[in-house]
């Protein structure tokens, strides 16, 4: 199993640009989570999906952030427009049915200049 | 307010000793608590899960305890090795909810 796959691994962009992060969960997993990690705030849950349906997006910082899961094998996290304070590592994780344990991807390191 | 606190940002110990990391929480009623390991530049990796009705769990050199009265979990690594050097995160999951809330982590360094 390839594990959770995220792309790109690194992204450098300028303030105001749109950023799209991508995630492919582990095949057969039905829950998907997006996290953001910074030195100041640690690992924060942004949003999670069960069976492709968003369940809790209370962690999404503001309207500039949006997430979709059009099918069981793909999710995107979009930031539009991006700001320097969005610079962080963004992780995607997935879990299976009954899913207590989450499996994390390698993360996308985002730098907004 | 709800908080998850890990005892220290950094812990340095000598190889062969037991490392003990602490996770305290307030204003949560967790269904279970998990410990993850994170290496630089990588995502967290699951280590152990303990449920609210369990007192202790072991896996090889790892041991986790869970005291719901004290609202505390302890994570022990016995016979520590330099390869155990990493950041260790505790995470709480609530009933009827499968999202997790993480502590800030403790960076463990095991010196040879």
Contact A101 B34 (CB under 8 A): yes
pLDDT band of residue B96 (cuts 50, 70, 90) is low
- Measured CA to CA, the distance from residue A88 to residue B41 in angstroms comes to 12
Q: Which of A44, A50, A105 sits opposite B43 (nearest CB)?
A: A105
- Measured CA to CA, the distance from residue A39 to residue A30 in angstroms comes to 30
Residue A104 forms contact with B (CB below 8 Å): yes
Give the minimum alpha-carbon distance from B46 to chain A in angstroms, rounded to a whole number.
7
Instruction: Give the tens place of pLDDT for each residue, A63-91.
Output: 999 999 999 999 999 999 999 999 999 99
Give the minimum alpha-carbon distance from A9 to chain B in angstroms, rounded to a whole number.
10
Peptide bond into B100 cis (omega under 30): no
What pLDDT shows up at residue A81? 96
pLDDT at A44 > cutoff 80: yes
Give the minimum alpha-carbon distance from A100 to chain B in angstroms, rounded to a whole number.
7
């Amino acid at each position: 199993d390839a594990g959770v796959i995220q792309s790109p691994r690194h992204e450098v962009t300028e303030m105001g640009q749109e950023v799209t992060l991508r995630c492919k969960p582990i095949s057969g997993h039905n829950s998907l989570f997006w996290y953001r990690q910074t030195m100041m705030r640690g690992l924060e849950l942004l949003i999670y999906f069960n069976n492709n349906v968003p369940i809790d997006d209370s962690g999404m910082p503001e309207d500039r952030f949006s997430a979709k899961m059009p099918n069981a094998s793909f999710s995107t996290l979009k930031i539009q427009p991006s700001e320097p304070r969005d610079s962080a590592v963004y992780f995607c994780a997935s879990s299976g049915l009954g899913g207590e344990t989450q499996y994390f991807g390698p993360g996308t390191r985002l730098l907004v200049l | 307010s709800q908080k998850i606190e890990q005892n220290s940002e950094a812990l340095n110990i000598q190889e062969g000793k037991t490392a003990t990391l602490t996770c305290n929480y307030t204003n949560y009623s967790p269904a279970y608590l998990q410990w993850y390991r994170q290496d630089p530049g990588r995502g967290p990796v699951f280590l152990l899960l303990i449920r609210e009705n369990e007192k202790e769990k072991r896996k090889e050199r790892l041991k986790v305890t869970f005291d719901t009265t004290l609202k505390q979990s302890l994570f022990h690594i016995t016979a520590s090795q330099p390869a155990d050097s990493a950041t260790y995160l505790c995470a709480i999951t609530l009933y009827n909810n499968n999202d997790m809330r993480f502590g800030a982590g403790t960076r463990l360094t095991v010196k040879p």
